[in-house]
Each structure stands twice: as structure tokens, then as C-alpha cells.
Structure 1
Amino acid sequence: MATQPLEPQIDDGKVLTSAVSKIAGFWGFTNAKLGTILGLSEATASRLRSGKAELDPTSKSFEAGQFLLRLFRSLDALLGSDDLSARAWLTTPNLDLEARPIDLIDSFRGLITVCDYVDAHRARV
């Protein structure tokens, strides 16, 4: 009887929570800001960042976290891993988006819009 190799088990919630926490640190987000983006309370965002809670892979917050990671990766690729430039881009009024991206990402629709905008510019490179 041949044994089959075990598939590595990746804890998606743990991995994404760690990534989102690091992004919040790189971009200087407060717990309140991270909570707003993910649709969570400030206290829950604090627990995520301290490792005492994880994003639930079946939740809308997990999906928002995936989009935040997508935005981070896209900006990182576009701006050459320069976190200061990414922070500046997020906080500068954008004529195309008619707002500062940092303000738009507070809503799920805005987060998707900003992701799509950055991806569209990245595709031109």
C-alpha cells in the first residue's frame, strides 16, 4: 500500500492576519483605521495586530484583507518597494479618483476601486 504525501496545511486566516498587520505597520495605520478598512472594531483590529485574533476566511473582513494585500502588492511593485512613496501616494489627493486613496479605502467599494485603479496603472508598465 503506497502512502500519499501529506499536503501542507496553511492557515489562511493566520497568514492573511499577519500580512494585514504588517501592512498596517508599513503604512502607519492606527487600529481604528485598520478596523474601518476591514469592517471591524478598533479593539478587534488591536487583537489582530497583537496576534490574539485571526481573520475568519469565511468573513467579509477576510475579503477586505485580501483586497488590502492586493493593493499593497500592487503599489509595492509599482513604486519599487518604497513604503514612504506608497504612504505619500495614499495620502495625496488623486484627480482620477476624485479623493485621497486613504479615504476611499475605508469602504469596501472604495478599496476595490483603488485596487483596480492601481492595477490598471501597473498593467501599463
Structure 2
Amino acid sequence: MATRAAEVEEGDGKVLTNAISRIAEFWGLTNAKLGSILGLSQATVSRLRAGKSELDPASKSFEAGQFLLRLFRSLDALLGSDDLAARAWLATPNLDLEARPLELIDSFKGLMTVCDYVDAHRARV
């Protein structure tokens, strides 16, 4: 039974790693920026994006990756799958958040705040 649970977790790490890599590509995130968001070094992010490593489901980086995926999916739904609009929204100063969302997501607290903000606006739609 424990072996099966480990297989699922390993698969989850690979799936989330692939999703995060694609999000970084869509949003034009550098390895340094993605590393800052996930709490990883640029070298580790480079290995993740190259498919040579994957996020560990038991790590804080995995949890941050889940929130990044949540933000991506929420913005995707809110903006009609327009990646350029999502990039613009992330880079534009937001009066409610008192910063550019892209600057806030470098911290775990900021990432959660931006996710909650987007989800709250999505609920209105």
C-alpha cells in the first residue's frame, strides 16, 4: 500500500513540474523569477524545466507550485485563456494589491494573496 502512495506522489511531482514549466513559458518567467516564486535556486529550476528533476510532493516548493498553478488557472478562466492579457495583468500595478502582482508572488504570502484576490474577482463573474 505504501508503495502505491509513493507512485502517486511521484506522478504528481512530474505533472506539477511540467505544468509549472509551461506556465513559466506562457508568462515569460526567467529561471531566476520562477526560482524566487518556488523558493529554489536558478540551477534547480533549470533542471526542472529541462525535465531532469521534478518537484517533491512533500516540499514547500511543491505547495508554492500548486498555488502558482491555481493562479494560472484562475487568470485563464477570468481572462478567457488570453496569455498576453495574463502577462499584462501580472506586470501592471494593481491599486487593490498596492503592487504589481508579479512582484508579490515572490513570497508565499504574496502568492496566496494574489490567488485569493483573483479568485474573489472570479467569483463575481
The TM-score bracket by the shorter chain reads: over 0.9
Unaligned runs of 5+ in 1: 1-8
CA RMSD in angstroms comes to 1.1
Q: Which residue of 1 aligns with 2:49?
A: 49
Structure 1's consecutive aligned runs of 4 or more residues displaced over 4 angstroms after TM superposition are none
Number of residues of Structure 1 aligned to a counterpart in Structure 2: 118
AA aligned to 1:78 is L
> How far apart are 1:97 and its partner, in Å?
0.1
> How far apart are 1:52 and its partner, in Å?
0.4
Q: Which residue of 2 aligns with 1:99?
A: 99
Structure (1 or 2) with the greater helix fraction: 2
After TM superposition, the structure 1 = structure 2 runs for residues 1-125 of structure 1, keeping only pairs within 5 Å, are 10=8, 11-125=11-125
Q: Percentage identity across aligned positions?
A: 83
AA aligned to 2:19 is A
Distance in 2 (CA, whole Å) between partners of 1:13 and 1:82 is 26
Larger gyration radius, structure 1 or structure 2: 1
Distance in 2 (CA, whole Å) between partners of 1:89 and 1:43 is 28
Unaligned runs of 5+ in 2: 1-6
> How far apart are 1:100 and its partner, in Å?
0.1
Distance in 1 (CA, whole Å) between partners of 2:81 and 2:47 is 27
